[in-house]
Structure 1
C-alpha cells in the first residue's frame, strides 16, 4: 500500500535539495557533526530496524555500510534507506535545520549560502528557513511557512492513556517508534518535559501538535487528572478540525464525557498491541506487509451507529 501523500513540501523540492547537498559536498556528509551524530539528531536510529541481519538496529547497519565498508552511496543512505523524500514535513524540516545549525556549519558565510539556496527551493512550496534564535552571534533557523508560525515539534500521533494501561500502550508505542513514526509518548519525552509547565505543554501537545490522538479509554482513564486534561485539550482541537482527530480505543465500556457515542472505535479486548499498531500505521498511510494488512473498517465497532 502506498503511503498517502500529506507532505506540503513536494518530492520535487526535496529531490532538488538533496541533489544540491550531494553535489556541493561531493557525496560526503556536510558539516562538523559527522555522519552518525548528525543522523541521530533527526532519526531514532537505535529504534529503527536493521536491513542487515548481522545488526540489531539502523545505526549499526548504517555505520557498517557508510563508514566501515563504504559500499552505500550518500544517495543510497538518504533516499533509499532513510526515505528523505517521503518523511513528514516536520522531520524533513529538522533535517534541514540540523544541516544549517551553527554547530554543524560554524562559518557564517557558508551557513548563509546554505540557507540562501535552500530557501530558493522551499519558497516554491510556501516554506522558508527562518531565523528564530542565535548562539554565539550565529543564527539558528527553523522551518516555517512563509508568513506563518514555525512548524514546531509536531507529531503524527499522540497517545493519551492512564498509567494503569501503560503496559499495553508501551507495546504499541515501541512498534510505532520502530517504524519511525513521529509520536508523543510520555516515556520518550522525559528530557523535553523536565522543567516545563506540564499543564501548558500538554495542552499544546494534545490540542494542536498531533495529526491524530489515540485515546485509550478505560475506567482509570475517565477518573485520572492528567488523562482528563489531555482529552479536554484533544476535544478542543477536534471541535475545530474538519477531519477526524480523536481515534478512540476501548479497554472497556466506560462512558467518557464529551466523546460522541457514534464515533467509531477499536475494541482493545479483541486487539493485540501489534494489531492496533498496524491499524495506526494504516491510518497514517504507512506501507505495511500486504499479507498482514488489517481491514480498518471491519475492526470498528458499529454497536452505536444508527444505520
Structure 2
C-alpha cells in the first residue's frame, strides 16, 4: 500500500492493519514502533511509540510536560522550584544536601554520623554509638555518653567524673554501679528542691567534699555530710572513728581497750582517758587511764545501809548517827 499526499492535503488512518495473506482475519493491534513530530503555532509535540509504550514531550504556553516510563538526565541539573511526589536516590552525599528544616512523620536512619546534631527530642528503640557528646544548656558544660559510662566536664571542657559499671578489686566477679570523681572534682552531692517549690534551687541534702574545699561549704574538714535528718535501720559501726560535738572540749570516740588479753568496746573521750568499757556481764569505768569494775562497786552499794556521823560532841565523840539507804 502506497499513499502520496501533495499540497495541503493530509491523511489520517485509524487502527490500520496490513495483512500479507490470502484473506483478512480478526483485527490485530499493530506493535510496530514509530515517531511523531508536530509543530503548530501554539505547541510542539515529540512522541516515540513502541510495543505500547509511549514517551512524549509537549511544549506549550501552559508549560512543558514529559511523559514516559523512564527519564535519564546525565548533565548537571538545576531545579529552582519543584514539587517531587515520590523519588528514590541511589547515592546521596551529605555535602550535597542543605536543608533548613525537614519535617517527616517517619525517617528510618540505619547509620548516622554528624559533628553537630540538634534535636528537641530523640526517640529510639536502640541507639548504638562509640560515644555521643551532648551540650548542656547551650554552655560549654557537656555530657559524653561512652561505651563504658557517662562522662561529665566543667565549662572549660575539663573532665570531672563519670558514672559507670565496674567490678570490685577484691572480688573481680562482683559488678556494681560506680560514681567516680576525677582528681579535679571538688565534691559530689545529691540535691532536691523543697516540696511545693518547683522554681526553687536544688539544695544539697547529702554530699562528699574534699578537705581542700570543705571550708567553702562551712565544714572544718572534708568527708561525708548531711543536711537533713538521718534514720538508720541497721547497726552503726565505727572503725576507730569518733563523733565530733561542736564546741566540745573533747571528741567522743568509739574504740577498744585491751584488758586481760580481751578487747573491750570503749565509748568516751578521744584520748581514751575517760569513759566506759562494756563486757558481756560487767561494766567498767575508765578514769585517767585506770579501769574500775563499776558493776561490782554499784552491786556492793545496792541495797546497803550507810551510817554517817552527823553530830560530834565537844570532847570528840559522836553524838548522832544518820543512816542512808543505798
What's the TM-score bracket when you normalise by the shorter of the two chains? under 0.3
TM-score by length of 2: 0.17
Query: Which is richer in helix?
Result: 1
Query: Which is richer in strand?
Result: 2
Which fold has the larger relative contact order, with Cα–Cα distance below 8 Å and residues 6 or more apart in sequence? 1
